[in-house]
Structure 1
Amino acid sequence: MDGQSIGDAWHHVVGTQPDPPVWLVVATGAVALVAVLPAPLWRLSRAIVTIAHEGGHGLVALLTGRRLSGIRLHSDTSGLTVSSGKPTGPGMILTAAAGYLAPPLLGLGGAALLAAGHITALLWTAIVLLAGLLVMIRNAFGALSVLVTGAAFLLVSWYAGDQVQAAFAYLGVWFLLLAGVRPVVELQRKRRYGGAPDSDADQLARLTGVTAVLWVSLFLVTALASLLAGGSWLVGH
C-alpha cells in the first residue's frame, strides 16, 4: 500500500459518511430490542455485554494505575477481571464501578459518533478496543469470543458498502444502549434473593460504605439516561 492509499484510507476513517435512511435507523433499533428482550436470544447476545463489562473493568484498572493481570470470559456469559494494587481507594472504586457503566456509556459514545456521521471511525474504534482487550484475555473461550467479534467489525469495515456499514454500526450502538439496562435489573433481582453477595454493587458497598442499592440505582440511572440521550441522537439525526 503506497502513501496515497494510506492517506485515502485514513481520510475515510476520520471523515464522515452519508446519513443512513430513517427506516434503517429504526429497523436496527427494533432488531437490537429483539436481541435483548426474549430470554433465549438474550442468553446468546448477553455475551457481547460481558465483553464490554469486563473490558470496562480492565480499561479503568489500567487508567487508574492498577496492574491488570488478565480477563476471562465464560460460556455462561459471566466474566472475571483480575487486577492488583491498593485494595481500597479511588482506583479500586472506579475499577469496580466501571463494569455495569461500560456498556451504556460505550453506547452513548457510539451514538455521538454516529450522530456526527463518523460511521467508519466507530467501526475502527471498536476494532482497536477489541484488539487491546484480546491481549489481556486469559482463556480460550474468551479469546474466541473477542476474535469473532473483532473479525465481524473488521470484515464489515473493510469489505461492506456504506449502507451495510451503517446498519452494522447502528445495530451495535442500539444494542449497547438497550442491553445496558437489563443486566442491572437482573443484578438487583439476584441480590433481592441473596444470589449475588459478591456483585460489583456489594463490593462497592464494602469499599465505600454506601449501600449497594444506591450503587445499583446509579448503574440503572446511567443506563436509562444513556439510552434516552443516545436514542434521541440516533433517531433525531
Structure 2
Amino acid sequence: MNTVTVPSRPNVRSERELAAWLADNGMPGQRSMTAITKLRRDRAGNRPAAPAAVQSVSQRLTRRLVSQARAEIRRRGGETAVFGKNDRVTGSLDLVDRDRGQRIILVKAAGWRYYSTRTPQRYVELAYLHGTDDAGPWAVRVPGTMTTVREALAWLTPNEVVKAMDKGLRVRRQGDVYAIETSAKRDGDGIWDLPEGHTWRANTRYLVHTPADGRKHRPLRLTYPVRFVVQRAYEMGRSGARVNGD
C-alpha cells in the first residue's frame, strides 16, 4: 500500500519564505514572491466586506466624501493607504477636516510603512485637499503635518498671492493659475511659466484653458494689467518634489 506524506503547515513570515516552502515541497501554484504578493492583494481586494452596522446620516456622508476623494487621488496617481510588512494596511484615508463654505475637505492616512529588510519601518502621514470647482473634482497633496483645511490652503497659496491680497490688489484664479493685478509695464509677466493647457491671449485679454483630458476651467476675461503666478503642491506618490497644483 502506497503512503502519501502530507507536509506540515508552513511556519512562514514573508512571501519569500512561502515561495521557498512551496518549491521545496513540490506544491503547485505560483511560487515567485511577486506572484504571491499580487495574489494576496487581489484576494484582500475581493474579500466580501463584513455586514456593516446601520450608519447615521453624518457617517454615510463622511464615507461618501472620503470615497470621492480616494477616487480622485487615485486618478491622479496618489497613494490612498500606508502598507506595512507583508502588505498589511497600517493606515487608510479618513476625513480630518471639512470647510462647508468652500466645499473642501482634508483627508489623511497615517501608519508604519515597510520598505525592506535593510530599511527599518517609518511612520508616515499622507494628506490631501479635495474639492470640486468649475472643471470638476480636484485633489492636491499637502504636507502630512496639516490638520485643518485652512492650514493646508495657507500652505498651498503662493506668497505673492497673499501679499497682493494684503495690498488690496485684484486676484483672479483659473485652477492652479493666479492672475494678479499689476502695472502696465509688467502686464503678461509669468506667461512662460503657465502650465500646459493654460494660454494667455493678450489680444482678447482672455486666459483660456484647453487641457488634454477635457476638464477645462471657464475662460477668464482680464481687462486690466495682470501677471501670472502658478500654485505649487507636493507631487503625487512618494516624491517630495513640488509640482503644479490644481
Q: TM range, normalised to the smaller chain? A: under 0.3
Specify which structure has the higher proportion of strand. Answer: 2
Specify which structure has the higher proportion of helix. Answer: 1
Higher relative contact order (CA 8 A, sep 6+): 1
Pick the structure with greater CA Rg.
Answer: 2
